[in-house]
Structure 1
Amino acid sequence: MPGWIEWATWDTTAKPCSRMPGAWWRNTTVSPDGRVKRLARALALAGGLLLVGVMGMTVVSVLGRYLFNAPVPGDYEITELAIGIAVFAFFPYCHISNANIVVELFTGRMPTRFRAALDAMHSVTFAIVAGLITWRLFVGAMHKLNDGETTVFLGIPVHWAYFSSLLGAGLLTMVCVLLLFRHLKSSAR
C-alpha cells in the first residue's frame, strides 16, 4: 500500500469502542504512538490542502488583477489566516517524524544512551515551549472571540484562525510529551 494514503486506511474489521458508537477508525493493533502519528499526518495533509487552496486563490487573484483589474477581494487576509493555520498543522508531523533540523557536531559519536538522555532534555524543553504556545493561543483566541475582532476588508472573525491553530499546537504538545517518554525509555536501557 502506498505510504501517502496509509493515513486514510483503517481496519474496518476492528470492533468499535462501546463508548464511541461508530468508532471504526479504532484499530486495537495500532499503538498510541501510531494513532498520534496518524492524527499528525492527517492534520499535516489538511494543512497541505489548505496551502494548495491558498495557492490556487493567489493564482486566480494575480490573474484577475492583471487581466481584468479585479483581484480576489481580501486575498491578503485569507492568505495571512490560512498560512498561520497551516504552519501549526505541519509542526506535529514534522516533530514526530524527526524531520526537524538537528546539528550533531559532538553528539554523533556519543553513546546511544547519552544521546537518548540528551534527546529527552530537548523534548522536555520543546514540550514546555509547545505547551506555552498552546496556552497563549488559547488565551489569544478567547480574547479575539470576546472582542469580536475581524479582518479589515472581509470582516472574517479572527478567533476561528486562532482556534484552528490551537489544534496543531495542542497536538504538537502531545507529540512532545509522547517523544519525551520514548526518549526516557531509550535512555533507561
Structure 2
Amino acid sequence: MLHSLIARLAQIMALLGGVVLCLLVILVCVSVAGRELGDAAHSGMIGAVGVWLLDLGVGPILGDFELVEAGIAFAIFAFLPLTQLSSAHARVDVFTSGLGPRVNNALATFWSIVMAVIIVLITWRLFVGMQDKIRYNETTYLIQFPIWWAYAASFAAAIATSIVSIYCAVMRVMGRRIA
C-alpha cells in the first residue's frame, strides 16, 4: 500500500517534470524562431512580409531564459523521486561489481541514507532561500517574475523527493528491495 502511494507520487512528479520540460522546449523553439524571423524582417530579407511580421510583434520571447532557468530547476527536482525509487542514478561499479551481494547491498543502503540526508538538507535550504526571496521581493530582471515562485515549485518537488528518498532509505535499512 505505502509502496504504491510512493510509486504514484514519483510517477506524477516525473510526469509533471516531463510536461514542464516539453513546454520549455517549445518555448525555446518559438523564441529562437521568433528571433530569426525578427532578424530577417529587420534586415529586409523578407520584404513587405517582414514589415507585417514586425507589426505583429514577431521576435524572441522576452525573458525566455528566465523561464527556462526556473522550469529546468523544477524539472530536475521532479525527476529525482522516480530516479531514486527505481535506483536509476548513474553509478560506476567497476570496483564494486566483484564484491558480492552483501557488500553491494550494504553500499546501496549507505548511499540511500546519504541521498536522503542530502535531499532533506537541500529541501530545507530551498525553503530558507524561498523565504528570503519572498521577504526581499526579488524578481527576475526582464519580466519581473517573482523568483520565489521558482523556489516554491522546486521546493514542492524537493519535498516529494525527500519523501521518496526517506522511504527508500528506510526500506533499504529494513532489508527490503525497492527496485
- Paired residue for 2:15? 45
Structure 2 CA distance, aligned partners of 1:157 and 1:169?
Answer: 19
Does residue 132 in structure 1 map to residue 121 in structure 2? Answer: yes
TM-score (norm 2): 0.82
* Larger Rg computed on CA atoms: 2
- Paired residue for 1:58? 28
Structure 2 CA distance, aligned partners of 1:55 and 1:118?
Answer: 37
What amino acid does structure 2 have at the position aligned with 1:110? L
Paired residue for 1:97, among 86, 90, 95?
86
Describe how 1:1-189 pairs up with structure 2 within 5 A: 31-69=1-39, 70-186=59-175
**Which consecutive unaligned segments of at least 5 residues does structure 1 have?**
1-30
Kept after mapping to 2: 8 A contact 1:116/1:184: no
Structure 2 CA distance, aligned partners of 1:58 and 1:118?
Answer: 41
Query: How many percent identity over aligned positions?
Result: 35
**Higher deviation after alignment, 127-136 or 108-117:** 108-117
What RMSD in Å do the two structures reach over aligned CA positions?
Answer: 1.4
- SS of 2:153's partner is helix
1:76 Cα deviation from its structure 2 partner: 1.1
Higher share in helix: 2
Superimposed CA distance per residue, residues 123-145 of structure 1 (whole angstroms, 9 cap, x where no aligned partner): 11111111110000000001101
Structure 2 CA distance, aligned partners of 1:176 and 1:43?
Answer: 14
Structure 1 CA distance, aligned partners of 2:76 and 2:6?
Answer: 18
Kept after mapping to 2: 8 A contact 1:113/1:186: no
Superimposed CA distance per residue, residues 96-130 of structure 1 (whole angstroms, 9 cap, x where no aligned partner): 11110122223323343332222111111111111
Kept after mapping to 2: 8 A contact 1:88/1:165: yes
Structure 1 CA distance, aligned partners of 2:117 and 2:17?
Answer: 24
TM-score (norm 1): 0.78
Give the count of matched residue pairs: 157
Structure 2 CA distance, aligned partners of 1:62 and 1:180?
Answer: 43
